[in-house]
Amino acid sequence: MANDKLTVAVLGPGGVGGLLAGLLARAGHRVICLAGGDTVRALRSEGIRVRSGQFGDFTVRVEAEEELREPVDVCVIAVKATTLDAALERVPAKVLGDDALVVPFLNGVEHPAALRERYGSARVAPAVIRVESTRLSPGVIEHGSPFLEVDLTGETVVRERLDALAGAFEESGVRVRVQEDEAAALWAKMAFLAPFALLTTRYGAPLGDIRTHHRDELTALVEEASAVSRAVGAPADAAAALQRYDAFPPETKSSMQRDAEADRPLELDAIGGALLRAAERYGVPVPATGRVVGELR
């Protein structure tokens, strides 16, 4: 990563992966998108088209393959937890390169262990992203939120590589923080995401309706998720989380809700299931969360 420009593979160029791929490619980095045949053909023909209030509307060329065929500096993993195992077949460990960073942008907290087992601890740098972005069709990305924030962590990787990636993201227009505490970064998102995802999906309603008509339930889930986060050793502030929910546009939907609306598999186990497992492990009572997860199951 000594060069100013990186070669970045993006596994899963959907709402999140496609937005990051487009921004990195626009900044001059070499981007190789890894996806299925139909998406590969669309990307080779039309490139990535981004519609964004924050970054403007633009189209940019990227490379596209069904499987990684050469070493890269970074492999961004931006698939759903429900498709992770199958998607990883597109990224053979022997091809990836010894110095590559594997950077997962997945919901949940349990995936880093599985990725480290597959690719080695020295490669895996878990990340957190805060954004609302949707793939409208192959290669067409709608960035709906007025923000795009990334937290990078890297307790087991060479810090210089992480800093190089942070610089590439910043150059692309992404707001980035490098966090020292991996668990804190992952659980900060988990404690915020789980109540939002579970309740918007349970009631089939956007965030504005949840915080207005199901306020007590939202408060209960936030307090339970914050308690689990603190038990794990990560800071969590339930009041601050509620304030953040109140600041979001009322029409905001969670990705899990969008999956439910499209009749796609839900990341219920990666989010709700993982939260319940951690609660049981640390002896934290989470009755409201358990009930909602049970109803969704």
CA dist., res. 149 & res. 164, Å (int): 17
CA 265 to CA 270: how far, in whole Å?
Answer: 12
Look at residue 242 in the predicted model and tell me its pLDDT.
Answer: 94
Q: Residue 296, CB half-sphere, CA atoms under 13 Å: how many?
A: 28
CA distance 151 to 127: 6
| Cβ pair 56, 142 in contact under 8 A | no
Helix (H) or strand (E) holding 163: helix 159-172
| Rounded Cα gap, residues 161 and 229, in angstroms | 28
Per-residue CA distances from 206 to 111, 178, 194, 199, 210 (Å) = 27, 31, 14, 9, 7
Angle subtended at Cα 204 by Cα 202 and Cα 210, rounded to the nearest 5 degrees: 80
Q: Could you say which residues of the chain have pLDDT below 50?
A: 1-3
Q: Where are the alpha helices (DSSP H) in 7-109?
A: 15-26, 37-46, 84-87, 93-96
Q: Which domains does the chain possess?
A: 7-180 (3.40.50.720), 185-296 (1.10.1040.10)
CB atoms within 10 A of CB 40: 20
pLDDT, residue 235, reads: 86
For residues 137 and 38, give the distance between their C-alpha atoms in angstroms, rounded to a whole number: 11
pTM: 0.90
Estimate the crossing angle of helix 274-282 against helix 287-296, to 10 degrees.
Answer: 150
Which pLDDT does position 155 carry in this prediction?
A: 83
Contact between 104 and 12 (Cβ < 8 Å): no
